[in-house]
Amino acid sequence: MLSTAITIIQSLLDDFSEAEKEPMIAISVDMLDTGVDVPEVVNLMFFKPVYSEVKFNQMIGRGTRLCPNLFGFGKDKTEFLIFDLCDNFAYFNQAIPEKEQSPTESLQTRLLKAKLELWDCLNTAETTTLGNNPQNRVKESQASYTVVKSDNLKEKILDELYQHVASMEDNNFLVRRYLETVLTFRKREKWQNLNPEDRQVIVNTLIPLPNTLPGENPRIKNFDLLCLKIQLAILKNSPNFERLRDQVRDLLTRLETKKTIPIVKNKLNLIEQVQTERWWQDVTVYLVEEMRLNLRDLIVLIDQRDEIIIYTDFEDELGDLEILEVPNRQTGFSPYQYKKRVESYILAHQDHIAIAKLKRNLPLTDTDLQELEKMLFTSEALESRDKFELVYSKNVNLKSFILELVGLDRNTAKQAFSKYLENNNLNANQIRFIEQIINWLTQRGVMKPSRLYESPFTDIHTAGLDGVFNNEDANNIITIIRSFDQPIETTFYSA
């Protein structure tokens, strides 16, 4: 791989340029376009689209260098092969005008632009924001943490933007070009009365410039940006609010799994509150700001492997700001929050007669089924059978679903395997294997037979069940396990 991000790039380029040295194959990231001659190159693979004809010709030029005796004495290089995976030749053969490519904005730039936009919105639409709703002021006063006020938030944003400019290095070649402007905005008083022209200069000239402030973890900055987008969505009454809100809730759900860490445990009450529908009803920009300040440093504790959900960051083109009356915000439906509510409800009702029977693997009577349906589908948590089936599907095995939450009664599991537990002829591994099955069923209620060929069972024997028991016993154990996973045969009555 040849990239400017590699510290030994020049050494790699030198080695690649010499025919007798490794590497023989190079993946170039804008490093072999021009200025590097490797005459021996006879195969080029273009695996990204290019919209600049100059760059396109530079890429082709890597193969046009003459090389005598390449294929043997007297057999000079006369041709080379290009594998064009992205139809670049087709693009330029159509004489399509070059596409103007604007550089991708850095995370820092997007963050500062969002802050300035928030400051602008707080000034322009202050009388119509949710923060001025008396009901919201009551909610803020009842918060379990100090809620920042409008003037403080606006002043804080200006301070951060000012610090960005104040910390710029005058000798930086990017800064030198705009040094006069930088020096003008290094005066703190300049930020107290920003006019529209000033804001344009800040956005187009100052924000993209580098500063010398200590860098922060990109994951924290991404969380900051997400919260800023939510604050802007509140002020603009944007339909993006619900999508952005659910992104925060998803993150905090993952963070909640780290509650054994003391600093997370200290914020657990807030983490749990923000995941609820109630917290987001009539939420204000100031509540979101305090939530951000309280939780931003904890975001880095979320396991990287849990961050597989990719949220797109496409921005709509914004028109002129329009002052609107902001109605009471209706929160959307979150399948994840619904599942969490359902599972908590079932765990809290383990003593219900039908659930108690399922835990003991006892058959349910028609009366039991009617009571179970009444308990589940008329509750506030589940709302309705239609809602439950929408989230979990119509074909869900309700018995397995409930048992996976509440687990199987331990005595019931032990009784099912009594033939083996009371058998004095079992060896230590066989006893341990059966006890592991009982532990599993007690914690998870049901299990697939295939699980017997995975850890922790393969920790006892690498072949799993077949390595511990003979075929007859193995088949019998599988039959017992499947008996706990049989669906409830009687259909539910209509609610």
Residue 329 clears pLDDT 70, i.e. is over it: no
469 and 361 co-located in one domain = no
Q: Which tokens belong to 44?
A: 């080029």
Q: Which of 274, 301, 328 is the last residue of a domain?
A: 301
Residue 98 clears pLDDT 70, i.e. is over it: no
In this structure, is residue 203 part of a structural domain? yes
401 and 414 co-located in one domain = no
Instruction: Give the C-alpha separation, 408 to 16, whole Å.
Output: 64
Instruction: Give the C-alpha separation, 62 to 22, whole Å.
Output: 18
165 and 281 co-located in one domain = yes
In this structure, is residue 317 part of a structural domain? no
120 and 229 co-located in one domain = yes
In this structure, is residue 101 part of a structural domain? no
Q: Give the pLDDT confidence score for residue 103 in this predicted structure.
A: 63
241 and 170 co-located in one domain = yes
Q: Give the pLDDT confidence score for residue 328 in this predicted structure.
A: 43
More confident residue, 381 or 278: 278
The rounded percent of the chain whose pLDDT value lies above 70 is: 77
With tokens 């019998």, the residue in question is 476
Q: Which tokens belong to 316?
A: 């709509």
User: Residue 193's pLDDT band (boundaries 50, 70, 90)?
Assistant: confident
Q: Give the pLDDT confidence score for residue 114 in this predicted structure.
A: 94
The arithmetic mean of pLDDT across residues 393-407, rounded, is 84
Q: How many CB atoms lie within 10 A of CB 251?
A: 25
**Structural domain count, the chain:** 4
Q: Give the pLDDT confidence score for residue 291 in this predicted structure.
A: 94
The structure's pTM equals 0.48
Residue 24 is part of a domain; what is its CATH number? Answer: 3.40.50.300
In this structure, is residue 306 part of a structural domain? no
More confident residue, 369 or 321: 369
Q: Which of 347, 381, 406 is the last residue of a domain?
A: 406
Residue 451 clears pLDDT 70, i.e. is over it: yes
More confident residue, 17 or 99: 17
User: Residue 172's domain spans which residues?
Assistant: 107-126+149-301
Rg (CA), the chain: 32
Q: Give the pLDDT confidence score for residue 33 in this predicted structure.
A: 52
- Which alpha helices (H) appear in 261-397, and where do they start and end? 262-266, 268-274, 277-280, 285-295, 335-348, 353-359, 366-377, 385-392
Q: Which of 388, 406, 424 is the last residue of a domain?
A: 406
278 and 180 co-located in one domain = yes
399 and 415 co-located in one domain = no
Residue 464 clears pLDDT 80, i.e. is over it: yes
Residue 34 clears pLDDT 80, i.e. is over it: no
Q: Give the pLDDT confidence score for residue 85 in this predicted structure.
A: 80
Average pLDDT score over the chain: 79
DSSP classification of residue 401 = H
399 and 457 co-located in one domain = no
158 and 240 co-located in one domain = yes
